[in-house]
Amino acid sequence: MALSLSLTITTLLSLFSLFLLHTHANPFRSIHHHNHPHFATHNYRDALTKSILFFQGQRSGKLPPNQRISWRRDSGLSDGSALHIDLVGGYYDAGDNVKFGFPMAFTTTMLSWSVIEFGGLMKSELPNAKEAVRWATDYLLKATAHPNIIYVQVGDAKKDHACWERPEDMDTPRSVFKVDANAPGSEVAAETAAALAAASLVFRRSDPTYAKILVRRAIRVFQFADKHRGSYSNALKPFVCPFYCSYSGYQDELLWGAAWLHKATKNPMYLKYIQLNGQILGAAEFDNTFGWDNKHVGARILLSKEFLVQNVKSLHDYKGHSDNFVCSLIPGAGSSSAQYTPGGLLFKMSDSNMQYVTSTTFLLVTYAKYLTKSHTVVNCGGTTVTPKRLRTLAKKQVDYLLGDNPLKMSYMVGYGPRYPQRIHHRGSSLPSMAVHPGKIQCSAGFGVMNSQSPNPNILVGAVVGGPDQHDRFPDERSDYEQSEPATYVNAPLVGTLAYLAHSFGQL
């Protein structure tokens, strides 16, 4: 009797488990709510942790006691002092020791957008992501402290590039460059306004006082950008070109800045600004690049949310503009124009192509989120593209970046068994202060730069420029196009990795 009873209980239990598996009572079903395969080939959580940690390696200024990338030390402590202003802090954009305000502001906007969309999924990494945003915004507040002036660069790039030295040893001129009413820079000003506005949303709950400071400053900086129109590439040409010349003009930044201020303030004046100026500012342009210079696609996706999720009817066109962007990426779709390498990587440019990959994948998972919320799809000339398809394309790109590629190499330093050893980065390639406390002179470092030895300091989480259009990657330190990391390559990846880690139940 006891045996048959236990058999009956076992049968009932197994039937009940089968029932659970086939109903919404399945407790694991919600984890995979976006129909990804149940097995992830990558540890997205580990990649997320590292992608955020990278920003500590790029810090300028006085490092805090909780600094985790320990081979870095304080640097640039007198930045701004020649003009009696405090410009200490912020980030070095890439492998050199210059603080370029234009890409720094874009990095800040994208880190903030990553937190706004996916911060709720980041768990223990959320404080680290917010800290990375704040390291930038504290600096941007200093750079915009005086009305109608923005300090947009610290360091003479040509002189800096003539040396290969650690930021801690810097002895090149820390010249300061600014835009103002007489020498305007609408793109760098509007991007800075976007960064401050987006960051205000990041801190709205956790630090409302700081959030208010950020949004007030964003309003003031945007007014300056819009009132004194002109390109900073004209005003500061010898200093910002060819490094971060603005090729797309400043119209895209004005639209992008207004979109972020509309989101941060809910002031109807910004919606009105977008409705009146959208077309003039190039909202409908069929330009499908998104990066530190060109914000058109980002603005379209951001504004499409207002239509799709918040039901702002007047922004209906932005859904169409966003769909055009998506259709340009889908292989086989009517208006597909995107190029892919034989190994499957989106390929747009020979110089730091990975920045285009990371920014595009972020837009794909974010737009998929908006489409899902509004139960909508994309129509590409007869081909229906679902949010799931956008997520699959984004995942494929991230998987390539993390090692699913012909070279079986991760393009994120410190992730996976095989990654770039000779990145184009001064601090990473030269012995650290702990190992070599004596000063390394300006040109003494070039011996290391030109050598084949691996970098002694691992810049964990750094994503390099990536392979060429034939999936080749020489791993040469002198090859800055492929081997240099940059803050604006990592910033959008943070959001995508948070989404992937969550959807595979790793967070």
User: Would you call 380 helix, strand, or coil by DSSP?
Assistant: strand
Angle of CA points 226, 370, 26, to nearest 5°: 150
Q: How many CB atoms lie within 10 A of CB 435?
A: 10
**Half-sphere exposure at residue 289, Cβ-oriented, CA atoms within 13 angstroms:** 13
Q: Which of 501, 427, 390, 493 has the alpha carbon at shortest distance from 91? A: 427
The residues that are catalytic are 96, 424, 475, 484
What is d(CA 496, CA 176) in angstroms, rounded to the nearest whole number? Answer: 35
Q: How many CB atoms lie within 10 A of CB 268?
A: 9
List Cα–Cα distances, 496 to 54, 278, 319, 326, 461, in angstroms: 16, 28, 21, 16, 14
What is d(CA 81, CA 175) in angstroms, rounded to the nearest whole number? Answer: 10
What is d(CA 241, CA 18) in angstroms, rounded to the nearest whole number? Answer: 64
φ/ψ of 306, rounded to 5, equals -60, -40
Q: How many CB atoms lie within 10 A of CB 63?
A: 15
Residues with Cβ within 8 Å of 89's Cβ and at least 6 positions away in sequence, in order, are 59, 60, 61, 62, 79, 135, 138, 139, 142
User: Would you call 441 helix, strand, or coil by DSSP?
Assistant: coil
φ/ψ of 380, rounded to 5, equals -110, 85
What is d(CA 426, CA 465) in angstroms, rounded to the nearest whole number? Answer: 16
Longest CA pairwise span in the chain (Å): 96
Which residue(s) pair with 412 in the sheet? Answer: 463
H helical segments located in 247-353: 251-265, 268-277, 296-308, 316-329
Q: How far is CA 493 from the centre of its chain?
A: 6
CA dihedral of 229, 230, 235, 238, whole degrees rounded to 10? 150
What is d(CA 25, CA 16) in angstroms, rounded to the nearest whole number? Answer: 11
Q: How many CB atoms lie within 10 A of CB 452?
A: 9
The residue behind tokens 């097995």 is: 39
Tell me the two tokens of residue 374: 């509004």
Q: How far is CA 330 from the centre of its chain?
A: 22
Q: How far is CA 300 from the centre of its chain?
A: 17
Strands 383-385 and 378-380: antiparallel
Total count of residues recorded for the chain: 507
User: Would you call 257 helix, strand, or coil by DSSP?
Assistant: helix
Which residue(s) pair with 89 in the sheet? Answer: none
